[in-house]
Amino acid sequence: MTSQRTRNRLVQRLRDSGITSEDVLNVISVTPRHLFVDEALAHRAYEDTALPIGHGQTISQPYTVAKMTETLLAAGPLHRVLEIGTGSGYQTAVLSPLVKTLYSVERIEPLHVRAVERLESLGYDNVRLSLSDGTWGWPQHGPYDGILAAAAPEEVPASLLEQLADGGRMVIPVGGQEQKLILITRNGDHFARKTLESVRFVPFLPGVQR
Ligand code: SAH
């Protein structure tokens, strides 16, 4: 169920869906996604689907994680990356070996606590996690040369644009019922936007939930 063969099948599926980055595919083939979901769902962990993680949230679909990671890294190595919406920590685990330092914020306390335990026990030591509302980014550690959001706001929060370094890249789903994944690249005070594809993410919500 969680064997290397099962994982390799997922990787082949991602290739067939258009993921081309060997770095990203390698990381996905060695990341134990079954440890990021409840035991009762572990047998489905290497299907290319989102799965419930409690509190009305989902672990992102592997294709989406791969696509966002590949897009974020497409212009070269990233040193400081901010993730909004740690959730289970799976996207965090995939990004971690591909960047220098990863900062990730989550607004739901029990999810944050579980992600801290998981990522620590699995040895992801370039990751810093915080229980906070990503609307405000994480200004203490910015600017970031990469920002990735796993929840969809109606509009990109101004703080995230401000905390994007010059030349930096942000991958974020935007919209309500109709969501688009967009890539924002910063060039001085100019923010270029490119629409990538239609997506379905949980909403980006304000405040911290304890
Ligand atoms: N990549 C995660 C996805 C989790 S779903 C995974 O694979 O598990 C998206 C997460 O974003 C949810 O846990 C949700 O609580 C969180 N989220 C939504 N709005 C947020 C905000 N304003 N700040 C921080 N986290 C937020």
Question: How does pLDDT run across 117-129, given as a tens digit for each residue?
Answer: 999 999 999 999 9
- How far does the centroid of ligand 1 lie from the alpha carbon of residue 87, in Å? 5
129-154 residue pLDDT tens: 999 999 999 999 999 999 999 999 99
**Which has the closest alpha carbon to 49: 36, 64, 69?**
64
Q: Where are the domains of the chain?
A: 55-199
Q: Which two tokens stand for residue 99?
A: 């960047």
Rounded to whole angstroms, how far apart are CA atoms 52 and 56?
7
Catalytic residue check, 60? yes
pLDDT, position 1: 66
State in words which class domain 55-199 has. Answer: alpha beta
31 lines ligand 1 (CB under 6 A): no
Nearest residue to 149 via CA among 134, 131, 138? 134
Specify the pLDDT at position 3: 86
Q: What is the pTM of this model?
A: 0.98
* Helix orientation angle between 62-73 and 4-16, rounded to the nearest 10 degrees: 60
Question: Ligand 1, from 48, 57, 130: best to mutate by most atoms within 8 Å of Cβ?
Answer: 57
Which pLDDT tens digit goes with each residue over 30-83? 999 999 999 999 999 999 999 999 999 999 999 999 999 999 999 999 999 999
Residue recorded with tokens 């980055």: 21
b or e along 19-49 (b: 16 or more beta carbons within 10 Å of the residue's beta carbon)?
Answer: bebeebbebbeebebbbbbeeeebeebbbee
